[in-house]
Chains A and B, each alone.
Chain A
Amino acid sequence: MKALNIISLGYRATLEEQDDTIVWLTHAMRGAGADIDILLRGSAVNYVVKGQAVSPLAIGGREQKHAPDVYGQIETLSEKGARIYVMANDLKQRGLKQTPRLDATHIVSDDDLPELFGGYDAVWHW
């Protein structure tokens, strides 16, 4: 079975979780043998922007050791063979058309979606 995970909401609880939890889930499922790719849309398209970084969060003196690295999570996923699709219109609306981003991304438009979806047994919108 081939599945496509659609991620629309970026940076949701990523500081607390130290990961994007759906990207993490995708990694874990691929590790268990799943054939899953991801489609980033909405604010999640920002995940492929190069140069983003966050320092470990310290609250009340309690410091985080591992700050989230959402770009790195996506990069590693692509290195493991997952296809990373990114919605063109969402990049454009957010002024990201010319912004340096992860090379291993496949930019798709709304017009591409019917065919893209058709190539998967399951399409899951998180």
Chain B
Amino acid sequence: MTTTLTFALMDAPFEASRTATVLRLIDDAIDKGCNINVFAYEGAVYLPFALQEPHANAVHGRDIDEEDHPLPREWIAALMEKAKRWDVAFDWVNCGLCVDERGASEAIEGVRRGSPADFWTMATSSENTLVVGTN
């Protein structure tokens, strides 16, 4: 039987090392054949924000293409694709009120709007849940 793991995240992109660490963890969990649920709360609803754009880096003398800066939305899309290849489920829910107050409604495909009730449903239907709070 496939293990399902749920993650609750809070940090907005580009603000805390936690984001990259948790995405590494989710990546590893997919490699191990786990179904993944993510409940994005507060600033984390910006992680899959569709309007993130890459930029050049004049300090390093790199144009946009050379810089090739991975955006959190790209990493999340890549995780979704990987999950499909591994034939495991990947459900990303953005907390709706958090989306509203931040104007983050434009999310990448595959992200759905939800509420704290979804987090409870995810948690009660998975083998384990990890909450990664914020400072």
A and B from one complex: yes
- Interface, chain A (partner B; CB < 8 A): 1, 3, 8-9, 12-13, 17, 21-22, 25, 28-29, 31-34, 122, 124-126
Asked if B133 and A28 make an inter-chain contact with CB atoms under 8 angstroms apart, the answer reads: no
Asked if A125 and B116 make an inter-chain contact with CB atoms under 8 angstroms apart, the answer reads: no
Q: With a CB–CB cut-off of 8 A, which chain B residues contact A8?
A: 133
Q: What 16 additional pairs, Cβ within 8 angstroms, besides A8-B133, A12-B134, A28-B115?
A: A17-B101, A21-B42, A25-B41, A25-B119, A28-B117, A31-B117, A32-B115, A32-B116, A122-B129, A124-B8, A124-B131, A125-B131, A125-B133, A126-B131, A126-B133, A126-B134
Q: In whole angstroms, what is the CA distance A34 to B41 when docked?
A: 17
Question: 5 tightest CB-CB pairs across the interface, nearest first?
Answer: A32-B117, A126-B133, A28-B116, A124-B131, A34-B120
Q: In whole angstroms, what is the CA distance A8 to B133 when docked?
A: 10
Q: In whole angstroms, what is the CA distance A124 to B126 when docked?
A: 14
Q: Which residue of B lies closest to A13 (CB)?
A: B42
* A28-B115, A28-B116, A32-B116 as given contacts; A122 in contact with B123, CB under 8 Å: yes
Q: Which residue of A lies closest to B115 (CB)?
A: A28
Q: With a CB–CB cut-off of 8 A, which chain A residues contact B21?
A: none
Within the complex, what minimum Cβ distance (angstroms) separates A79 from chain B? 19
**B2 interface contact, C-beta 8 A:** no
Cβ contact of B123, chosen from A3, A12, A17, cutoff 8 A: A3
**B124 interface contact, C-beta 8 A:** yes
**B135 interface contact, C-beta 8 A:** yes
8 A-B pairs in the complex with CB atoms less than 8 angstroms apart: A1-B123, A3-B123, A25-B41, A25-B119, A28-B115, A32-B120, A124-B8, A125-B133
**Residue from B42, B101, B129, B131 whose CB has the most chain A CB atoms within 10 Å:** B131
Within the complex, what minimum Cβ distance (angstroms) separates A39 from chain B? 13
Within the complex, what minimum Cβ distance (angstroms) separates A14 from chain B? 12
Of residues 32 through 87 on chain B, the ones whose CB sits less than 8 Å from some CB of chain A are: 41-42
Asked if B119 and A29 make an inter-chain contact with CB atoms under 8 angstroms apart, the answer reads: yes
Within the complex, what minimum Cβ distance (angstroms) separates B131 from chain A? 4
Q: With a CB–CB cut-off of 8 A, which chain B residues contact A22?
A: 133
* A1-B123, A1-B124, A122-B123 as given contacts; A29 in contact with B131, CB under 8 Å: no
Q: With a CB–CB cut-off of 8 A, which chain A residues contact B133?
A: 8-9, 22, 125-126
Of residues 79 through 129 on chain B, the ones whose CB sits less than 8 Å from some CB of chain A are: 101, 115-117, 119-120, 123-124, 129
Within the complex, what minimum Cβ distance (angstroms) separates B82 from chain A? 26
